[in-house]
Amino acid sequence: ISAGGARDAPVEIAGLCLKKGLAPLAAVFLHGLMTGSPDLRETSAAALGEAIGFTSAAALGPFVVQITGPLIRIVGDRFPWGVKAAILQTLKLLIGKGAMLLKPFVPQLQTTFVKALADPTKTVRLRGAAALSALVALSTRIEPLTSDLTNSLASAEPGVAYATLVALAGVLRNMPKPLSDATLDRVKAAAVEKLLVEDEQVDVAAASLVGACAKWCDVPTLLESVETAVEKGDEWKGQLAELRVHLSLLRTLPASECRPIFPSLMSSAEAAATADRIELRQPATHALARVAAAMAEPHPDDVDELGVEEAARVAAAAVPAQLLSALGTTLLDRALDVRQSAVHAVKTLARLRPSLFNGNGVNLPSQIIANLATACQDKRNTLLQNAAQRSMMHVVAACGWGTPDKVPRGAALPTEASIYCADFLRRSAKRIAAMDSEAEDSDTEAA
């Protein structure tokens, strides 16, 4: 269906976008959802969600009310977790496609999604969190919702606490207006308190929530509270908690808001990249990439004065060489998990900031390219090699090397790396570009 389309672009089927084009499928799937066995209900809910995804918002409009009511009724009954998970996913798709038409259902949906956060099954909890994050843009009672979720953290067991923190982070990132200072302070305090608990998922989700809070408060003050809190734990655990918070800030805030704290972000990432513990070096790869991408983002004033391309070149040229060198070094780390994270981090950097690679008045990050080429040829681990080759595909695209003869030789790039890149373009690049990428969550927020 999506052949020839841009990767990740919305895909619509022409027949479903006609007036009443969805009607026959909706009737069949709703019948299965309301009268079938548990397995049939799950399949019907998933199929309905898939059909919604292929339907335009305009064509979906007349069916929103007809579809939403049964979904809410069934998800509240005692059915297996698979039925609930499929329905929650479909409701989230409905919110994305038919948002304003769902306004009358917001109170019921909010109650449904909050209830899902305490479900015994992790998949249901996380889909409830994702749906609640999407719904908040329509909600008019964000303050009570946030307060209730924050209060529930005090007595929640780790699995529920994780889902609740994920939901809160999504709410804060997507809500259209700020909370009161008192409520925001309570959310910040609850998130900071969870940074050092003995559960890695909860730690990560708490850091994500701290980063989400940064969208609505003074960042230096927020970081001071984090530094004070992490001093109570082991040194390396405190360092890890700070690094996770920094990563969340970099993913949440525009570069312009991170500029005052660039030195501390860079210092934290570089220190973690050379630490003895793998637990620090692994997230450090993504922190280095994210700091470099933020530093290379052109300042709006420069864009107005110099134009987009020249402003991007100036910003990329200002990124410290030691930052890119540190990222390149992690590609040869002694630990496989760190190398795996590093190749994904390089891919993220090439996609976010191709200006660092295109050589337009900017020195090529030759160490990154050379070490990535080494990873591409490492046959000891197929997963690492495949991930490295996919990252290389993004790197050569960012460099603008469409054909082998475009690859530089000499001082710009070591000979062995140059030969490999030319051969990669000749033999592998098109094949890899045509393949669907595996799911990669190594550089995403807790979800």
What is the model's pLDDT at position 101?
81
Say if CB 159 and CB 126 are below 8 A apart: no
Cβ distance 295 to 312 under 8 Å?
no
Q: What is the pLDDT of residue 2?
A: 44
Determine whether domain 10-140 maps to CATH 1.10.287.
Answer: no
> Is the separation of the CB atoms in 292 and 247 below 8 Å?
no
Distance CA 210, CA 207 (A): 5
Per-residue confidence (pLDDT) for residue 446, from 0 to 100: 42
pTM of the entire predicted model: 0.87
- Give 10-residue mean pLDDT values along the chain (447 residues): 49 89 93 92 93 90 89 88 94 85 89 94 96 91 94 93 96 93 95 90 95 94 92 88 95 92 95 96 97 92 87 89 95 95 96 85 79 94 93 93 88 88 92 69 48
Q: Are 266 and 250 a contacting pair, CB within 8 Å?
A: no
CB 286 within 8 A of CB 442: yes
The b/e string for 375-390 (b: 16+ C-beta within 10 A; e otherwise) is: bbeeeeeeebbebbbb
Q: Where would I find the H helices in 36-121?
A: 38-53, 57-60, 64-75, 81-97, 106-116
Q: What is the residue whose two structure tokens read 């062995």? A: 416
Asked if 199 and 237 count as a contact pair (C-beta separation under 8 A), the reply is no
Domain positions in the chain are 10-140
User: What integer pLDDT is reported at residue 411 of this predicted model?
Assistant: 72
Residue-wise DSSP of 106-155: HHHHHHHHHHHTT-SSHHHHHHHHHHHHHHTTT-S-HHHHHHHHHHHHTT
pLDDT at 25: 93
Q: Which two tokens stand for residue 103?
A: 């306004």
